[in-house]
Amino acid sequence: MSETATSEVLADAHLHRLGDVRLGLLRLHKTLLEMERIDYEKVFGGVTAGELLQLVINHAQFSWLRMISALVVEIDEVLNDDEPATMDDFEQLIGQARLLLTSPENEEFRTKYQAALQREPAVVMAHSAVMQMLPKDQ
């Protein structure tokens, strides 16, 4: 049975790249989360790790970060699925990452992410690291 190029099982190099993108997104998320935590604490005072987790899950100030979390979860699901990941999976996830970090459709995410890039050099560095892992021909 002949398979198309996009439905073939993902090569190890692509699986490794997808794992690297996942790690890069986690680093970016951590950097953005730290920035939001500092802003929150300026207004409301210090928070514990447990309180921060609850804020990330429930507080509106942190809600925009859930888009990155959701993408990481999608990558995890593909990498840990019983079925082998395909080139379709790879292209779809890489495309989602590129769109999220360059032209997000969500207005709140776009506004807050652009502001973070303007304000925080660590965000620029984390963003750049992820973008370098995303093939431009997707």
What DSSP assignment string belongs to 16-30?
HHHHHHHHHHHHHHH
Q: Is residue 2 part of a domain?
A: no
Tokens linked to 50: 């447990």
Beta bridge partners of 86: 9
Q: Is residue 113 part of a domain?
A: yes
Question: Which residues, in sequence order, are CB contacts of 124 under 8 Å at separation 6+?
Answer: 117
Is pLDDT larger for residue 7 or for residue 8? 8
Question: Quick one: pLDDT at residue 137?
Answer: 60
Q: Give domain status of residue 1, yes or no.
A: no
Residue 56 placed within a domain: yes
Q: Give domain status of residue 138, yes or no.
A: no
> Is 90 a residue whose pLDDT tops 60?
yes
The whole-number pLDDT of residue 10 equals 73
Classify residue 55: in a domain, yes or no. Answer: yes
Q: Which domain holds residue 105?
A: 11-132
Asked whether residue 34 is assigned to any structural domain, the reply reads yes
In a domain, 80, yes or no: yes
Tell me if 67 sits within 8 A of 109, measured CB to CB: yes
pLDDT at position 123 over 80: yes
Residue 45 is classified by DSSP as -
> Rounded to whole angstroms, how far apart are CA atoms 55 and 47?
9
